[in-house]
């Protein structure tokens, strides 16, 4: 990984924290074609999200919430050069640190294991915000702003957050499939002129993400 460079400020990882990860996995497997694959990280095993059968299709992970009071939600992680410094800067700027910086046991303390894990994270992150295969992340939008933002797209009781958008070939078919197997549709499908067609899904465990088919660029037309 010596030829990889840090990419501060870019979203590099997405994790679904859910009280019922098996139900969530079944839902996203049916709706987006994702596979849940056990992956060793340090002394533990994480269930990673794969869009295909090979390691280079790993795009995120599933995990149980750290508290019974925590709702199901997607966590979007941003690359920074220094996590502790970033947390201090957030506090100094009027923000709130919801969870203090911590090490991933057996990974961040072990350079060899860290290289193996973050090689895959970095490989994913370099393509995560670009047009990729069906089922991969495309963009991330901040919840909690007025429309034309995304406040009205979020269900009642869902706190504003960074909302991942997943690339799909057919937004309408994806939304219909999600509704048919127990998901709800807080918004869409709808066209955004010059951007693409999108819809917002809430999975049966309560977590929310969006799906989008971007409009073709001039080069693609």
CATH tag for 11-125 (out of 3.40.50.720, 3.10.180.10, 3.30.70.2740, 3.20.20.70): 3.10.180.10
Instruction: For residue range 102-120, list pLDDT tens digits in order.
Output: 766 655 444 444 334 444 4
Q: How many helices (H) and strands (E) does the chain have?
A: 4, 10
- Nearest alpha carbon to residue 74 among 211, 212, 208, 210: 208
CATH 3.10.180.10 correct for 137-214:
yes
For position 5, what pLDDT does the model report? 54
On the question of pLDDT at 99 being above 50, the answer is yes
SS3 51: coil
Instruction: For residue range 138-195, list pLDDT tens digits in order.
Output: 566 655 434 444 445 566 555 556 788 888 999 999 999 999 999 999 988 999 888 8
For position 214, what pLDDT does the model report? 86
Alpha helices in 59-192 (DSSP H): 83-92, 111-125, 171-180
At 70, is the pLDDT very low, low, confident or very high (cuts 50, 70, 90)?
Answer: confident
* 14, 76 Cβ separation under 8 angstroms: yes
For position 29, what pLDDT does the model report? 94
On the question of pLDDT at 126 being above 50, the answer is no
For position 129, what pLDDT does the model report? 45
Residues 191-216, mean pLDDT to the nearest whole number: 90
Which residue spans of the chain are classified as CATH 3.10.180.10?
11-125, 137-214
On the question of pLDDT at 121 being above 70, the answer is no
Question: Phi-psi region for residue 68, left (φ > 0), alpha (ψ -120 to 50) or beta?
Answer: alpha
On the question of pLDDT at 125 being above 80, the answer is no
Instruction: For residue range 27-57, list pLDDT tens digits in order.
Output: 999 999 999 888 776 667 788 888 877 767 7
Q: How many CA atoms does the CB half-sphere of 147 hold within 13 Å?
A: 6
More confident residue, 196 or 118: 196
Q: Measure Cα distances from 126 to 15, 22, 180, 201 in Å.
A: 17, 29, 34, 26
Which of 90-94, 126-130, 190-194 reaches the highest mean pLDDT? 190-194
* 205, 19 Cβ separation under 8 angstroms: yes
On the question of pLDDT at 75 being above 90, the answer is no
């Amino acid at each position: 990984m010596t030829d990889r460079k840090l990419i501060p400020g870019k979203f590099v990882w997405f994790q679904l924290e859910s009280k019922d990860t098996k139900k969530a996995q079944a839902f996203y497997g049916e709706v987006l074609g994702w596979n849940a694959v056990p992956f060793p990280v340090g002394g533990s095993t994480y269930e990673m999200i794969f869009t295909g059968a090979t390691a280079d299709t790993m795009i995120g992970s599933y995990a149980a919430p750290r508290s019974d009071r925590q709702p199901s939600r997607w966590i979007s992680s941003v690359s920074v050069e220094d996590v502790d410094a970033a947390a201090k800067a957030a506090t100094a700027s009027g923000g709130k640190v919801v969870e203090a910086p911590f090490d991933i046991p057996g990974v961040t303390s072990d350079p060899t294991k860290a290289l193996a894990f973050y090689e895959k994270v970095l490989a994913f992150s370099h393509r995560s915000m670009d047009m990729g295969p069906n089922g991969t992340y495309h963009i991330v939008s901040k919840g909690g702003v007025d429309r034309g933002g995304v406040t009205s797209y979020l269900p009642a009781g869902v706190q504003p957050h960074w909302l991942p958008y997943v690339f799909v070939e057919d937004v309408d078919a994806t939304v219909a499939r999600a509704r048919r197997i127990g998901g709800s549709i807080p918004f869409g499908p709808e066209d955004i002129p010059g951007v693409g067609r999108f819809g917002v899904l809430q999975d049966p465990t309560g977590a929310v993400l969006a799906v989008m088919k971007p409009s073709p660029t001039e080069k693609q037309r």
